[in-house]
Structures are given as structure tokens and as C-alpha cells.
């Protein structure tokens, strides 16, 4: 991974020191007599001294389980597209393969189930809770995962391998140059839109590059026919991409679908040393969120937002983008 910036403090920033930054998973192992109440992503988890666990959900049904080893896996943001890709699904895959517990309870969402279906995933231990459940406890673990933490590359590799296996059929066009805009999409919820003049410069520059180098320019809004693009079509589109450029946001999470055979190039606009509009200094981008796996498979570049950028409106130094285009020419 390389930072492209005319500001010396940015250019000399040591990204390697961020790799081991971590916020630990919180685990609770229950003895025979134990009581605790905690909020579990909308569920109330109660461990009583009578050695029962009750999970209160919206729904009248109660299920009895008799297996002696249980885990309640509390992974935040299971309804967020990007987090499902780089947090939820890789962890579910890893725990299903490696956890010593017999049954692993967790929450789900329509979005998460759509992605699981897309990837054709089958789980042996994972149970998605949609109703109340009462179990007789033997050994119980409740794990609460923080939103901000260092991602485990080994877990990300599990999903990346599935993605690459699904997309191993050659496609007709592997020369797409995708720009992920946040300015023309109704799905954008967290600001960080580029200033109109700055984005116009970016698009014009990228289109000119594509004309010279025989690439197909795609202005990606995340939508098709006025609705959010299907997960299948997002995967297919980004699998055909040789280049992806854009500001940090869930659209950029789609770089997981890029085909390593195409020698992908990614350029993400991120917080730098001068201003942090999201996260800290160069510590929130999709190379990091995917456990720094992509710097081994792609050429990954970061361009910092300019000093006058805010959480709502951002811009980049267009000369830094020009440097990126010169490198990949």
C-alpha cells in the first residue's frame, strides 16, 4: 500500500504501525451459578442463577436446545453492507469451522441472508435467531465484538477464496475503470460527498485516461433502475474491474470482488494527517478493513482528503490523482 500526497507528513506516514492495532473481543464464560443482563444487538440476554439463558426477541415462540456447549456471537452492524462483507460473514465462516462450541447463536438481517445466498454458504453450527430461545446451560460463551478492531486476515481469506471461486469463469470485459461516487446515490447516509467542482475534475480526468488507454469508464452510484443494485450484479461488475477509485464508503467494499488475475489497482480517498473526516490518520480504508489482505493481491493506493474537508463535504488534491494515473499508465 502506498500513500500518494504532496504533503511530506502524509507521504512519510508509516502505515505498518497500524496493522497490529486491536480492540479485543469481549468474552464471558459462565460458571454453573451466574447472572448477567446485557443487550445483544436488540436482544436481551439474561443468564440466571438457575443455569438457564433466556433470549428475549420479538416473537412468541420458545425453543429448547439440549446441546451442552453454546456461543452467543454478538457482531455489530449485521445490517450494514460493508460490515457484512469484512466483519460478519468472515467471522461466521471462521467460527463455524473452528469454534469448540456445538451451537453458535447470532442475529441476522435480510441483507446478510442475501449475501450468504449469493456466496452459496452453508453453516454447520451457526443458528440465526429470529425468535425467543431458552436453553439449558452447560458451558456458555457470549462474545461481544467491537465495531473498531484489527481485522484478522485469515478470516478475510476464507471469504475471498469463496468469492474468487465463484468468479473463476472468464468474462467478456475485464477492462472496466470504476469510479465510486457518493454524490449521485440515494443510499449514501454518512456524508463525505465530494465537492461538485472537485468531483467534476476527477471524473473528467478518469474519462480522459480511459479514452487514451482503451478502458471502459463506469460511474458507479450503487443503483440500477432507480433501486439499489442487486448484490449479484455488484459482484459481477467489480469482478470485471481493473481499476477502482473513490472516497471511502460502502461502495468501495466491493473491491473484494476484484479478480487478482487482472492485477487490480485501487485508489481510495481517506483521512490523512491534516484532517480526519472518518476514523483516524490513514486507519480507515478497505485495505485495513479487509485485514491488509489486498495489499498482497492488488496495488493499493491512498489519497488523503484536503485540509478543508469535513464529515459532510470532502475534496482531494487533483495532482495526487494525476500521480496515480501516471503510475498506472
Class of domain 2-19+165-328: alpha beta
| All residues at 6 or more sequence positions from 10 whose CB lies less than 8 Å from its CB, including other chains | 3, 272, 273, 274, 282, 304
**pLDDT tens for the 329 residues of the chain, in order:** 999 999 999 989 988 777 755 555 544 444 333 333 344 444 455 544 334 444 444 333 344 444 457 888 888 888 899 999 999 999 999 999 999 888 888 888 899 999 999 999 999 999 987 665 666 555 677 777 878 788 899 999 999 999 999 987 665 567 899 999 987 765 655 567 999 999 999 999 999 999 999 999 999 999 998 889 999 999 999 999 999 999 999 899 999 999 998 899 999 999 999 999 988 899 889 999 999 999 999 999 999 999 999 988 999 999 999 999 999 99
Distance, CA of 96 to CA of 102 (rounded, Å): 9
Distance, CA of 172 to CA of 260 (rounded, Å): 16
| Domains in the chain: boundaries | 2-19+165-328, 26-149
| All residues at 6 or more sequence positions from 17 whose CB lies less than 8 Å from its CB, including other chains | none
Per-residue CA distances from 54 to 28, 61, 135 (Å)? 16, 12, 7
Answer whether 28's CB lies under 8 Å from 36's CB: yes
| All residues at 6 or more sequence positions from 97 whose CB lies less than 8 Å from its CB, including other chains | 158
This prediction has a pTM of 0.85
Amino acid at each position: 500500500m502506498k500513500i500518494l500526497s504532496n504533503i511530506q507528513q502524509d507521504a512519510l506516514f508509516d502505515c505498518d504501525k497500524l496493522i497490529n492495532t486491536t480492540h479485543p473481543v469481549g468474552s464471558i464464560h459462565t460458571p454453573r451459578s451466574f447472572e448477567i443482563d446485557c443487550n445483544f444487538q436488540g436482544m436481551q440476554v439474561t443468564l440466571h442463577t438457575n443455569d438457564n439463558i433466556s433470549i428475549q426477541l420479538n416473537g412468541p415462540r420458545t425453543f429448547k436446545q439440549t446441546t451442552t456447549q453454546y456461543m452467543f456471537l454478538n457482531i455489530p452492524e449485521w445490517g450494514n453492507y460493508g460490515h457484512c462483507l469484512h466483519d460478519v460473514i468472515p467471522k461466521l465462516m471462521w467460527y463455524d469451522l473452528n469454534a469448540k462450541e456445538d451451537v453458535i447463536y447470532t442475529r441476522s438481517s435480510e441483507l446478510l441472508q442475501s449475501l450468504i445466498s449469493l456466496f452459496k454458504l452453508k453453516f454447520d453450527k451457526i443458528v440465526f435467531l429470529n425468535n425467543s430461545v431458552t436453553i439449558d446451560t452447560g458451558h456458555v460463551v457470549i462474545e461481544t465484538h467491537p465495531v473498531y478492531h484489527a481485522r484478522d486476515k485469515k478470516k478475510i481469506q476464507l471469504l475471498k477464496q469463496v468469492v474468487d471461486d465463484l468468479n473463476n469463469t472468464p468474462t467478456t470485459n475485464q477492462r472496466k475503470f470504476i469510479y465510486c461516487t457518493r454524490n449521485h446515490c440515494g443510499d449514501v447516509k454518512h456524508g463525505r460527498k465530494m465537492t461538485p467542482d472537485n468531483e467534476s475534475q476527477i471524473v473528467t480526468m478518469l474519462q480522459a485516461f480511459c479514452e487514451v488507454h482503451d478502458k471502459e469508464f463506469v460511474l458507479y452510484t450503487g443503483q440500477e433502475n432507480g433501486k439499489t443494485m442487486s448484490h449479484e450484479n455488484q459482484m459481477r461488475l467489480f469482478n470485471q474491474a481493473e481499476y477502482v477509485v473513490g472516497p471511502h464508503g460502502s461502495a468501495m467494499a466491493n473491491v473484494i470482488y476484484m479478480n487478482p488475475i487482472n492485477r487490480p489497482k485501487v485508489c481510495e480517498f481517506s483521512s490523512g494527517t491534516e484532517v480526519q473526516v472518518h476514523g483516524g490518520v490513514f486507519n480507515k480504508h478497505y485495505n485495513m478493513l479487509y485485514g491488509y489482505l489486498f495489499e498482497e493481491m492488488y496495488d493499493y493506493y491512498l489519497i488523503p482528503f484536503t485540509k478543508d474537508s469535513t464529515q459532510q463535504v470532502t475534496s482531494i488534491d487533483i495532482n495526487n490523482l494525476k500521480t496515480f494515473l501516471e503510475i498506472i499508465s
